Amino acid sequence: MKIFINPSRDSWQEILARPAVDHSGLRDTVSDLLKQVKSGGDKSLFELTRRFDGIELTDLQVLDEEMLQAEAAVSPELKKAISTARQNIEKFHEAQQVDDSLITTTDGVKCWTRTVPVEKVGLYIPGGTAPLFSTVLMLGIPAMLAGCTEVVLCTPPGADGKVHPAILYCARILGIEKIFRIGGAQAIAAMAYGTESIPRVDKIFGPGNKYVTVAKQMVSLENIAIDLPAGPSEVAVMADETADPAFVAADLLSQAEHGTDSQVLLVSTDAGLIEKVKAELAKQLKVLPRKKMAEQSLLNSRIVVLRSIDEAIDMINEYAPEHLIISCRDYGDVGIRILNAGSVFMGPYTPESAGDYASGTNHTLPTGGYARVYSGLGLTDFQKKISFQEISKEGLQNLGPSIMTMAAEEELEGHSMAVKLRLSKISNNKK
C-alpha cells in the first residue's frame, strides 16, 4: 500500500488518480461482434458461445424445467436471505416513486408530468468468478416496481451450459420470465438489435467485463439507452481515532477481493491507526480465500493521513468514490457534507457488504469519479417522464403575446402564427 502523510493539496490529484482505463482498442473487435449478431441472429449466438465459451448450447432460453431444478437447488437458508434482501430493496426503491404534480404556471396554463415505465428493458448479469445473483435483485426489483412490460435477462452459461441456480431463483421470484443463457458483447448485441429468440429492448442495464462495457457504449451511440458507465469497483474509508482497525481492514479487503483492479483508499485523521490497520490486514488476509486477488489490488491502494476532518471531507469530495464508509466519531455531521459519492455507509456497524446485498440501497453505483455527476441506479432509471400542458382560451390570451414576441426575436414566424391564428379565432368568436 502506498502511504501519504499530510500531502499538500496540489499533490492530491496525483494521489487520487485512478489507473486510466482505455478500452478504445477493443472497439473494432466488439464492432465485429455486434455486426455479426445483428445480421446472424440466434445462429451467431450459438456460434459465438461455441467459440468463446467452448459450449454447445441446445437452447438459448432457459426453460421451465431448468427453473424448477434451480428452485430445488437453492438452500432454504439462502432463500430466506434473498427474501430479506428483496423486501428491503423493494421498500427503499418503492419510496422513490414520485408523485406527479400539476402546476398552473399562468392563469389558464396547466403543466404536469406523467411518469411511465420504460417498456422494454434488458438486464445483463455477468458470470465469471462469482455468480452475481444479488445483481438480479438490484436490477430486477426496480424494473418490476416501475412496471416495465418486457424484462429480458441475459447471463452467460456455466461450463455445463446451465445458469447458476441462485440467478434463476432470483429472476423467478421477481417474475422475470425471459432468461437467456448468453454472455459477453454478443448478449448486449442480442438485446440491442433483437434476434429470433431474444427481444429487442430500449435500455440495457448491468455490469460486465470490458467487452460488455464497450458493447454497451457502442450500442448507446445507436438507438439504445444504457444505465451507467461501468468501471472497476472502489471503496474509500474515512476514519478517525475512534475507528476499529479490524473493521477498517475488513472493509478494505471486502473491496480488494472483488478483483485485481479494485480501488481502495483509506483517508485517516489518525496516523496511529495506520499500523494497526496494516497489522489487521496481514492477519485477515491469511484466511481470505481470494487472498491473491486481494493482495494484488492492495498493492495499488492508498492510505492518506490528513490533519483534519475538513481536509478529509475535501479529499473525499474530490475523489468521488463509488462507496464511502465513514468511520468517524461525528459520522452524521460528516455525512451531510459529502457531495460526491455513490453510496455512503455511516458509522462503525455499517459495512459496505450491507449495501452490496441487503440494506435496501442499490449496489449499481457510479465508479471512476462518475459519482461527481451520476447517481446510483434507482427506480427512476426504469421510468421516463412525459410533460403535458393544457392551455385554455383565457390562458392563451394571457401567455400568447409573450410567445409571439419571443418567437419573432428567434426569427421563427411559424411559431408565432400558431398562436396568432388561435387568438384571432378566440376574439372572432367573442364578437
The minimum distance between CB 6 and a second copy, in angstroms, equals: 26
Q: What is the dihedral of CA 357, 360, 364, 368, to 10 degrees?
A: -90
The minimum distance between CB 28 and a second copy, in angstroms, equals: 13
Spell out a b/e string for 89-122, using b for 16 or more CB atoms within 10 Å of the CB, else e. Answer: bbebbeeeeeeeeeeeeeebbeeeeebebbebbb
CB atoms within 10 A of CB 349: 10
90 is catalytic: no
- Cα–Cα dist 342/338, whole Å: 10
Using the minimum distance from each CB to a second copy, give the nearer residue, 47 or 261.
261
323 is catalytic: yes
> Which listed residue (66, 323, 352, 363) is catalytic?
323
Using the minimum distance from each CB to a second copy, give the nearer residue, 56 or 77.
77
The minimum distance between CB 330 and a second copy, in angstroms, equals: 13
Q: Phi and psi of 62, rounded to 5°?
A: -80, 125
Packing angle, helices 271-286 and 291-299, rounded to 10: 150
Distance of CA 44 to the CA centre of its chain: 29
> Which listed residue (322, 390, 409, 415) is catalytic?
322
Question: 243: closest CA among 215, 266, 222?
Answer: 266
Using the minimum distance from each CB to a second copy, give the nearer residue, 60 or 379.
379
Using the minimum distance from each CB to a second copy, give the nearer residue, 299 or 386.
386
Using the minimum distance from each CB to a second copy, give the nearer residue, 105 or 308.
105
Spell out a b/e string for 149-164, using b for 16 or more CB atoms within 10 Å of the CB, else e. Answer: ebbbbbbbbeeeebbb
- Cα–Cα dist 47/336, whole Å: 52
In one letter, which amino acid is 387?
Answer: S
Using the minimum distance from each CB to a second copy, give the nearer residue, 45 or 226.
226
> Hey, which residues are catalytic here?
322-323
